[in-house]
Amino acid sequence: MFTIKNVQSLDNRLNEHFSFEYARRMLSSMNLADEQISQLVFGIPSVEDSEVINDAANLFNVAKRENRKVMICGDYDADGICSTSMMVDLCQRMGFATGFYIPDRLKEGYGTKESTILSALEKGYDFFILVDNGVSTHEVNKKILDSGSLLLIIDHHVIVEPVQADVLLHPDVLPEVYQGMCTSGLVYLICIALGMENDKMIQLAGVATIGDMMPLWNYNRQLVIDALKSLNHSPLLQFSALLDKSIEAYDESLIAFQVVPKLNVVGRLADRANVNQIVRYILSEQKEEILSVSVSIKELNQVRRQLSSQMYDLSKEQITDEKLLIITHPDFHEGLVGITAGQISKETGKPTIVLAQKEDSFKGSGRSSSINLHKLLSEGQEHLLHFGGHAQAAGLEVGNQQFADFSKFMIAGVNELMEHLEDDVVEVLRIDSSILKLSSVEEFEQCAPFGQSFERPLILLENLKVVRPMHNKNRNFSKWLVSLGNEDAEVVLFSDIDDSIRIANGLDVIATVTISKFLGRRKISLMAQKVVKSHGN
């Protein structure tokens, strides 16, 4: 549901920094704190020193003096893949004998397993680095420490109980400027402390920060800005080879929609590929090998898209009036449940759990933008075999015999939480199209990167005159050229609509505003969420 709001007065704090009413109006609608405005205008003033970061860096120096052999245990999502690759690269450049392993998502599941540690110990590894996991692998951590090995855990998942390690590097133990960082960002902090940062490290950290949907404030903001600068100067071939077409510039949206899904796909479809090969792909310096593997990754991503579309269609049939959606099906692919949960949750505005049916259990993921899903799962863990994750994204496994009680507990819990929340509505800012000019949008775009916790506002533009419809045969894609008065803009809609709207002479549009770039030309682009005929059309 959309609710329309008007910004009655502009934020005076913005006057000296922004020339155009459009930028001031958009930013005024966000209710930014002084510190956030300062970060937009001046950036992050300085990076704070941290004893924990220094301790983590020093552990490498200790291990080097003692001639330790390093084993890196990672995770299968974009952040886990990037942080594993960064750590392998760092250790190899420091001269360590280095091994790594990311578990099979479908056969082994999340987190470092005891069998991995025992095998590594037999091979003489005695410095273990757990990246993007570790805060919940308590028995494994104890096994490592009892063996006399060094243990460094670099993780950002929720800490439920105290963690044993020689050093734990986690946002919870760092200064405020580092709050909300993903694991790859934390690895980059170690690179800086060791004087080992480079273009590859910043690009990997930036891609992971975008991919893991970290809040784009504080150090995350500067990290992504620096990563995009590096990508636009000398992008890793491993990233550029994954793009579907040639581009004019890298930005956060391009990373989110063209690069991250392809990094994730091998981990998701572990029954068709080995995620450890993606680490080798990122570390490779052979052009022919990189180009060859990139083709295989893109082909696998096409398979993923087809399977995801099928799962989405099956899931839509199970949408109910309940405030929590729990969706299962025997044909669901376990590696894709998180994607489907995110799609359904975004479409319905409801917390959504999508579960693949296994032989003895249901295994899947949950997504929510309104409640702390991880906290609720922790309160109901007696009904679960396993769970973990974040407030808005969690993984879980439920036994067959537990499923009924689990469902009752979760539905009751969400119903109680929702009683204290306002109706799930999306605020839309009404603006006059006369203030929407390319120069004014360009000024606002200087506030990029946009993303988690700093998203472009949705706006309502009314009575836009259609200059020319530009649709194609795809029913799920419509495009119009419209007049804003002094200049034209394009309206793009990725959903099916009635033909009467496709041929209308005037439109009311709810959209985010961006700038499209093609062959050096720049144009205002309205990425629509809803399009209707204007009154009188």
DSSP notation for 292-317: HHHHHHHHHHHHHHHHHHHHHHHHHT
CATH number listed for the domain at residues 51-234: 3.90.1640.30
How many CB atoms neighbour CB 485 within 10 A?
A: 13
pLDDT, position 518: 79
The residues near 296 (Cβ < 8 Å, ≥ 6 apart) are: 273
- Structure tokens given for 321: 């009036």
For residue 5, the model assigns a pLDDT of 66
DSSP code, position 169: E
Q: What is the largest CA-CA distance in the chain?
A: 79
* CATH 3.90.1640.30 domain range(s) in the chain: 51-234
Q: Classify domain 317-419 at the CATH topology level.
A: Diaminopimelate Epimerase; Chain A, domain 1 (3.10.310)
The CATH number assigned to the domain with range 2-8+426-533 reads: 2.40.50.460
38 phi-psi bin (left φ>0, alpha ψ -120 to 50, beta other): alpha
HEC readout, 335-396: HHHHHHHHHHHHHHCCCEEEEEECCCEEEEEEECCCCCHHHHHHHCHHHCCEEEECCCEEEE
DSSP string, 48-87: PP-HHHHHHHHHHHHHHHTT--EEEE--SSHHHHHHHHHH
For residue 196, the tally of other CB atoms under 10 A from its CB is 18
Cα separation of 534 and 3, whole Å? 18
**Which residue, 364, 368, 374, is CA-closest to 335?**
364
List, by residue range, all CATH 3.10.310.30 domains of the chain.
317-419
53 alpha carbon, distance to own chain's centre: 24
CA dist., res. 411 & res. 534, Å (int): 40
- Work out the end-to-end distance of the chain between its first and last CA atoms, rounded to an integer number of angstroms: 23
User: Which uninterrupted H or E stretch holds 512?
Assistant: strand 506-518
**What are the residue ranges of CATH 2.40.50.460 in the chain?**
2-8+426-533
**Alpha carbon of 25 to those of 242, 432, 456: distances in Å?**
37, 11, 12
157 neighbors 133 (Cβ within 8 angstroms): yes
Query: Rounded distance, CA 270 to CA 107, Å?
Result: 8
Q: How far is CA 57 from CA 74, 223, 363, 528, in A?
A: 19, 19, 37, 47
Predicted structure pTM score: 0.91
DSSP of 451-482: BTTBPPPPEEEEEEEEEEE---S-TT-EEEEE
Q: What is the CA angle 211-217-221, rounded to 5?
A: 65
Phi, psi dihedrals of residue 329, rounded to the nearest 5°:
-165, 140
pLDDT at 248: 87
Looking at residue 74, its pLDDT comes to 98
Residue 514, classed as helix, strand or coil, is strand
DSSP SS3 for 445: helix
Q: What is the pLDDT of residue 436?
A: 94
Are 445 and 22 within 8 A, CB to CB?
no
Q: What is the pLDDT of residue 536?
A: 63
The rounded distance, in Å, linking the Cα atoms of 466 and 367 is 38
Tens of pLDDT along the chain (537 residues)? 566 766 666 788 999 899 999 999 999 999 999 999 999 999 987 778 899 999 999 999 999 999 999 999 999 999 999 999 999 999 999 999 999 999 999 999 999 999 999 999 999 999 999 999 999 999 999 999 999 999 999 999 989 899 999 999 999 999 999 999 999 999 999 999 999 999 999 999 999 999 999 999 999 999 999 999 999 999 999 999 999 988 989 999 999 999 999 999 999 999 999 999 999 999 999 999 999 999 999 999 999 999 999 999 999 999 999 999 999 999 999 999 999 999 999 888 899 999 999 889 999 999 998 889 989 999 999 999 988 877 888 999 999 999 999 999 999 999 888 776 555 556 899 999 999 999 999 999 999 999 999 999 999 999 999 999 988 776 778 999 999 988 999 999 988 888 889 899 999 999 999 999 877 789 999 999 999 999 766
Tokens of 451: 């993303």
